[in-house]
Amino acid sequence: MTGKPVILCAYDASTMLRGRKMLVEENGYRVLTAANGKEAVQAFVSHTVDLVLLDYRVPEIDGGVAAIHMKACKPDVPIALLFGDEWLPPSALEAVECFHFQIGAHNQPPGKSGLLAEFAIFVSAARRFVG
């Protein structure tokens, strides 16, 4: 990697997406954003990406399907899946390196400390795979 690592962040709520983008950039990363699964796959294919932070409930195609498409193109890029549901189909987890369940994710968005903790979980898990 040269320069700042690039993180693709896909989330369906625009305010949450902007918050995640700002937080990740404040921690020294370059950020690409996508508001749905189709945009996420297009950005992933079109750019060099070092890590994907992907919400399962993105519109158009869900995060599990988006992850499968991403892995088919670039299998070495780690993908972290965020979800706030109690149940995910096993196929949604097959293409990701780590996942994070957030209680009340859509009812009570986390504040800055919650986002930072979530980001730390993803980055520490992804570093195991990136090296």
pLDDT-based confidence at residue 131 (cuts at 50, 70, 90): very low
* 12 in any annotated domain: yes
Token couple for 55: 């919400």
3-state secondary structure the chain: CCCCCEEEEECCCHHHHHHHHHHHHHCCCEEEEECCHHHHHHHHHHCCCCEEEEECCCCCCCHHHHHHHHHHHCCCCCEEEEECCCCCCHHHHCCCCEEEECCCCCCCCCCHHHHHHHHHHHHHHHHHHHC
Whole domain around residue 20: which residue ranges? 6-130
**Pairwise CA distance, residues 83 & 90, whole Å:** 13
* 57 in any annotated domain: yes
* 69 in any annotated domain: yes
> According to the model, what pLDDT value does residue 4 have?
84
* 31 in any annotated domain: yes
Rounded average pLDDT over 48-60: 88
Domain CATH code at residue 41: 3.40.50.2300
Entry pTM = 0.76
Each residue of 65-87: pLDDT tens digit? Answer: 999 999 999 999 988 887 766 56
> According to the model, what pLDDT value does residue 32 have?
93
**Residue 20 pLDDT greater than 70, yes or no:** yes
* 1 in any annotated domain: no
How many domains is the chain built from? Answer: 1
> Strand pairing partners for 54?
10, 81
* 70 in any annotated domain: yes
pLDDT-based confidence at residue 99 (cuts at 50, 70, 90): low
Give the length of the chain: 131
